[in-house]
Structure 1
């Protein structure tokens, strides 16, 4: 299997608060890692999944649930700790051998921040591709635009639910596939 022919596309959902007002004593925590694999030769997108993550420094509030659809009950039922999620990504995707991508820099920065806080290795390979910047540059736009607007620009419908990590990752992979054609 040639791993250089594939790229992992991720999208994170994290604890959030109305007007970005983070309560004292809490920090932004990843609560979902949406991930899929884009094969650059066949142009197929595979291995799409959501990995739900137990927040260790904050709680999921009503605002966060309304935005993401992720409830404390869902996390209690399906969630694993972030360190375990990183191991799962390494094991299932051989992530350390692949480049990875996300729509914007938040996902990359949050992975780095949370790995640093826990003192663990980043589960992904070294090369990160910011799909938002690639899209802007490809179409020679003057500013960055969001995921849904990029899909509209390409006359593509959003597939799934916005702010579902797996669906956002899948749609970002669709955009990346289109601009690489």
Structure 2
């Protein structure tokens, strides 16, 4: 069965520069498992991640809906990465995200914390695939892409779990058009 993990992360953020000593850290990992053969979204997952070197700002709560108290109930980043590999086969399954931010954030945070990178090297930038498929000159954000594709936005924008679910719908639309790249 050709399964694909669609991943979207939310990270600590601020209106300007981070406070002294703080860095942007993943606080939510949204993951939707997609069956490319049957063109179905199979499972929607959410992993809350407890930040170690930053806190959730009021701006971040307004954007994502996540509070410091909520992410304090999450797992640490290394455990989140182990969960991705153990429960979602992230280390062997192809995966996709909207743009390269999610992949690069994982790379940065893994490097900074000495954590094993949880994903396979088989990543597809869904934003690029969508832009090419639709012949667009500009790369749209996820919400704009849903409008172009005539798909509804489900859930809360900037919720990792809901955004991964919506990106998965875009991926399935690309697969239906024959424009989703075959996994390597």
Same fold (TM over 0.5): yes
CA distance in 1, matches of 2:111, 2:41: 30
Match of 1:54 among 44, 50, 54: 50
* TM-score scaled by length of structure 2: 0.93
1:45 is matched with which residue?
Answer: 41
CA distance in 2, matches of 1:156, 1:121: 36
Match of 1:132 among 118, 127, 131: 127
Whether 1:67 aligns to 2:55 is: no
Whether 1:17 aligns to 2:37 is: no
CA distance in 1, matches of 2:42, 2:161: 11
Give the 5 Å matches for 1:50-129: 50-77=46-73, 79-129=74-124
Q: CA deviation at 1:22?
A: 1.7
The list of structure 1 runs, each at least 4 consecutive aligned residues, that deviate by more than 4 angstroms after superposition, is none
1:148 is matched with which residue?
Answer: 143
Q: CA deviation at 1:88?
A: 0.8
CA distances 1:124-146 after superposition (whole Å, capped 9, x unpaired): 11111111111001111111000
CA distance in 1, matches of 2:43, 2:136: 31
**Pairs aligned (count):** 176
SS of alignment partner, residue 173 of structure 2: helix
CA distances 1:40-65 after superposition (whole Å, capped 9, x unpaired): 10111122111000111111011100
Match of 1:6 among 3, 6, 11: 3
* TM-score scaled by length of structure 1: 0.94
Q: CA deviation at 1:103?
A: 0.5
CA distance in 2, matches of 1:105, 1:50: 20
Match of 2:170 among 166, 171, 175: 175
The structure whose residues are more often helix, as a share, is 1
Consecutive unaligned residues in structure 1, runs of 5 or more: none
